[in-house]
Structure 1
Amino acid sequence: MSKKTKKILKIVAASVAAVLLAVCIGIYALFHNEISTLRSLEKVNDYPLYTMDYQGDYGLDAFLEQGGASNDGELVSFVVKRLLKGLPIEINIPSLGCSTFTATTPDGDYLFGRNFDLDYSPAMLVRTKPDDGYESVSMVNLGFIGYGEEKLPDSLLSSITTLAGPYAPLDGINEKGLSIGVLLIPTEETNQDTDKTDITTTTAIRMILDRCATVEEAVALLEQYDMHSSANSCYHFHIADAQGNSVIVEYIDNEMKLVEPQGAYQAATNFLLTPGDYDFGHGQDRYEILTTELDAKNGVLSEKEAMELLKSASQKPHKTDSGSISSTQWSVVYNNTKRTATISMGRDYEQTFEISLFDEK
C-alpha cells in the first residue's frame, strides 16, 4: 500500500471518527436527561421494587396546554411522543382493590396508610423534581406499562419504558407533606364533559403531587378540570396533608363529591362513602378492620402499628372473578409530617424499604 493511500485512509478514518463523535455528542445532548434517568434505576427489593430519579422536564405544562387527555389512549399518545421519542407503549389500569387510612402518631405526626391490591405487580418508586412544582415520590405499578415476571427493567435497553413512570402514579407524597392514593369503585366510569381541560386518573395524581401543598389546594385543582377515569372504571381519591386534613374525592353521576372525616381519622376501600344510597362495591370487610382498630385507638397509631394495621387489612392471594390471582402488592406508611415512607412489598412485613424523602423545610 502506497504512502498516499495510507494517508487517504487515515484522513477517511479520522473523518468517520469525527462524524461518529459528533453523532454521539448530538445524541447525548438530546437524550442526556433520559440517559441519566435510566442510569439512576436501582433494584432495592427482590419482589421487585425499583427506585428511579427522573431527570428533566416530563412536560406536564405541555400536556395541559394541548388539552390534556380524555382517555388512556390520548395519554399514551402524549407519553410516547414526549417521553419515549416514538417508542410504542400501552398504559393499562385494570380493576384494583386497595385500602387507605389516616392516623396520628403519639408524637403528633400525621400518617397516611396505603395498601395496593392487584395481581402480581413489580413496582417502581419514582422521584420527580419539576422546576415549577414540588418534589415528590410516587409508586408506579410496572405492570401497567408492560412489565411482569417475564420482563423486568434490568438493563438499559429493557428499562426504556420506565420513562413513562411520571404519568402512571398510584400513590405518593410530595415535599409539602401532601399524600394521595387512588382506589377503584366498581360503578360507572367518570366522564365529565364541560369546557374544562381533560385529565385522567393518573394525571390527576401527577398534578396534585406537583402543584398542591394542602388538601384544600388539591380539591380546588380538581375542580378546574374534567375528570375521565381510566380503564372504563370509576375511582375515588384519598388525599391527606401535613396539617392533618383529609378528604375523599368521589365522582357520582359525573359530579365531584367530597367526603370529610367524621372523627380523628378517615379510611377508604372500594365502595362509595358519599352519604346516600351509594354504599355498594366491595371492601367492606377491609373497611371494618381499619375502622375497628382506629376506633379502638381513637385514630392514634405509631408508624409500626400503622403498618401492622395495613397487614391486618391486606389481601392474601385469591382468585378474582376474572380468574387472576390477586393480593396486596405493596403497603406504604407515609409520614406527612416528616415526609418519609416505609414500604412493604408482597406482604413481606418483616423486610421493609424506608426512604427519607426530604430534609426538614
Structure 2
Amino acid sequence: MKKKSTAKKVLLTILGVLLALVIVLVGTVYAVWHDEITTLLSFQQVTQRDESHKDGSVYVLNVSGGYHFDEFLAQGGASNDTELISFITNSITKGIIPMSIKTSEIACSAFTADTADGDRVFGRNYDFHETNTVIVYTNPGNGRHASYSTVDLQFLGLDSTKDVTTFGQKILTLAAPFAPLDGVNDAGVACGIFMSYQGGEKVAATNQQTDKPDLTSTTMLRMILDYADSVEEAVELVEKYDLHDSAKTSFHYMIADSTGKSAILEWVSDSSDDDADGANRHLNVIWNDADPLSGATDWQMITNFIITPDYYTADANKPGLDRYELLRDRLAELNGVVADEEAAMGLLDAVSRRDWGNPGDSNSLTIHSAVYNLTDKTVLWVGNEHYGEEGYTFRFSLNK
C-alpha cells in the first residue's frame, strides 16, 4: 500500500507540474499576443462566395490594439514591400509566422459631393477581378483616430479563389491594417488609392530617393487614416515622406474631409514622356477649388489617369477617362448635390464594371463600393455590385 501511495503522490506531482507549465505557457502566449488573439476572434464572414456572379467572400475584422504602426513610423517606415513584410512579421508574429503584403494593377473611381441635407460624402468603387475583401475597424487610441477601411485579402497572400477557413490563413489577416485601399476616420477624413498607370508601356513605380523617411502605397493611406484631422493635415503628413509604390505599380490618391475640401495627390515628372523613372517624381497636389478638369470648385473626381495639367499629349492616353467624364457630367447636372448616401451609391453603380463593357480588361468587376459620410462619420458599403440588395449592403458608424 505504501508503494502505491508513493507512486500516486509522484504522479499527482508530475501532473501538477505539467498543469502549471501549461498555465504559464497559455499565460505567456496571451500576454504576448492578446491583441492579436482578440483580433482573430473577431474575424467573421458576412457574405458568401458566388461563382455565378464572380463574387468573392466578404469578411469583417475588428482590430485590437495599435498594430505596431507607431513603431513602424518611428523606425523610418519602409522603402519597399520586403522591408514592410519583415517589419510586420517581426512585430506581429515575433518572427514565427511569415506574413505577406503585395498590390497589383487595379482600376477604380471616386468622387466627392454634398447631400441635400448638407452632408459631405466621398464615394469610391474598387475595381479588380474576383477576390475576397475584409472590412476593417481599427481604434488604436493614444491620440490616433478610429477608422473603417477595406482590404483586398489577396494582397495579404490569401488565395482570391478560396474562402478563408484555416487558422493559418486567418493569421495572415493580422496584417490588414497595413494594406487599406480606402477608408474614413472619426475626424471625417476619407482617402482612397487609385492606379495611375505611369511610365509608358511598362508601368513604373514611384520610388523617391531623398533623405526623408519612407512609406509604401498602403502604409501612406494608413498614416492618413490614423493621424490626419483634415485634408490639409494629411497633405502635411505626406510631404514628410518619400513614397515607394508597391509591386512595381504606380498610384495616386484622393483625400477629402467634412469641410468640403478635397485634394488629389500625384507623384509626377514633367510629362508622361519622361516619367519612366519613378525616382525623379515629385508630389503635386490638386485641390478641389483649383482642379483643371473637374469643371467645378465644390466637388472633385478621380479614376486612373493623371490629373496634373499637360501630363498627356492626347486624351487617348488617359486610362479611365470614360468613367471620369460620366461622373463629371452627372455631378455637373446635379450641381454637386446628391439626394443622400443611396443616391451617391447610385453614381457608383453608374460606373460599376460588370455592365460597363470592357472585354479583355482584367479589372472588369467592381469588388466593393463605399460611400463615406464625412459629416456623420458613417459608412454605406456594398459588395460585388449588389446595389440595393439586402445581405450585401452594410452600414457602419464611427460615432461609438
TM range (shorter): over 0.9
Query: What residue number does 2:63 align with?
Result: 54
User: Contact between 1:114 and 1:310, CA under 8 Å: does it hold in 2?
Assistant: yes
SS of match in other structure, 1:273: coil
Query: What residue number does 1:135 align with?
Result: 146
User: Contact between 1:69 and 1:200, CA under 8 Å: does it hold in 2?
Assistant: yes
User: Contact between 2:154 and 2:160, CA under 8 Å: does it hold in 1?
Assistant: no
Task: State percent identity of aligned pairs.
Answer: 39
User: Contact between 1:272 and 1:281, CA under 8 Å: does it hold in 2?
Assistant: yes
Tell whether 2:37 aligns with 1:35. yes
Tell whether 2:276 aligns with 1:265. no
Deviations 1:214-260 (A, max 9, x none): 11001111111111111112111000001111110001021111112
Query: What residue number does 2:263 align with?
Result: 247
1:346 to 384, 389, 397: 384
User: Contact between 1:319 and 1:325, CA under 8 Å: does it hold in 2?
Assistant: no
Deviation at 1:24, TM superposition (A): 1.1
Tell whether 2:88 aligns with 1:79. yes
Deviation at 1:20, TM superposition (A): 1.1
Query: What residue number does 2:326 align with?
Result: 289
Query: What residue number does 1:11 align with?
Result: 13
User: Contact between 1:340 and 1:354, CA under 8 Å: does it hold in 2?
Assistant: no
Tell whether 2:218 aligns with 1:174. no
Q: Distance in 2 between matches of 1:42 and 1:341?
A: 18
Q: Distance in 1 between matches of 2:311 and 2:59?
A: 42
Deviation at 1:319, TM superposition (A): 5.2
SS of match in other structure, 1:158: helix
Deviations 1:69-94 (A, max 9, x none): 11111111111111233211321201
Equivalent residue letter for 1:292:
D
Query: What residue number does 1:332 align with?
Result: 370
* Higher percent of residues as strand: 1
2:337 to 300, 324, 340: 300
Query: What residue number does 1:64 align with?
Result: 73
Deviation at 1:149, TM superposition (A): 4.6
Equivalent residue letter for 1:108:
G
Deviation at 1:151, TM superposition (A): 3.8
Query: What residue number does 1:216 align with?
Result: 232
Q: Distance in 2 between matches of 1:320 and 1:121?
A: 18
User: Contact between 1:152 and 1:158, CA under 8 Å: does it hold in 2?
Assistant: no
SS of match in other structure, 1:80: helix
Structure 2, unmatched stretches of 5+, are 49-55, 199-203, 270-280, 289-295
Equivalent residue letter for 2:11:
L
Answer with 186-195 or 210-219: which moved more. Answer: 186-195
Cα RMSD (Å) of the superposition? 1.7
User: Contact between 1:153 and 1:162, CA under 8 Å: does it hold in 2?
Assistant: no
User: Contact between 1:84 and 1:164, CA under 8 Å: does it hold in 2?
Assistant: no
Query: What residue number does 1:185 align with?
Result: 196
Deviation at 1:148, TM superposition (A): 3.0
Deviations 1:21-75 (A, max 9, x none): 1111111111111110000112222242211111112112211222211111111
Equivalent residue letter for 1:259:
I
Q: Distance in 2 between matches of 1:151 and 1:30?
A: 30
Deviations 1:272-309 (A, max 9, x none): 11111336331011111111110100110121111111
Query: What residue number does 2:241 align with?
Result: 225
Q: Distance in 2 between matches of 1:357 and 1:350?
A: 19
Query: What residue number does 1:163 align with?
Result: 174
SS of match in other structure, 1:270: coil
Structure 1, unmatched stretches of 5+, are none
Equivalent residue letter for 1:11:
T
Equivalent residue letter for 1:240:
A
Q: Distance in 2 between matches of 1:334 and 1:94?
A: 24
Answer with 127-136 or 99-108: which moved more. Answer: 127-136
Q: Distance in 2 between matches of 1:320 and 1:232?
A: 21
User: Contact between 2:80 and 2:216, CA under 8 Å: does it hold in 1?
Assistant: yes
Q: Distance in 1 between matches of 2:150 and 2:190?
A: 11
Deviation at 1:198, TM superposition (A): 0.6
Query: What residue number does 1:256 align with?
Result: 283
User: Contact between 1:307 and 1:332, CA under 8 Å: does it hold in 2?
Assistant: yes
Going from structure 1 to structure 2, the CA distance change for 1:155 and 1:357 (only over 3 Å counts) comes to farther
Q: Distance in 1 between matches of 2:47 and 2:323?
A: 27
SS of match in other structure, 1:274: coil
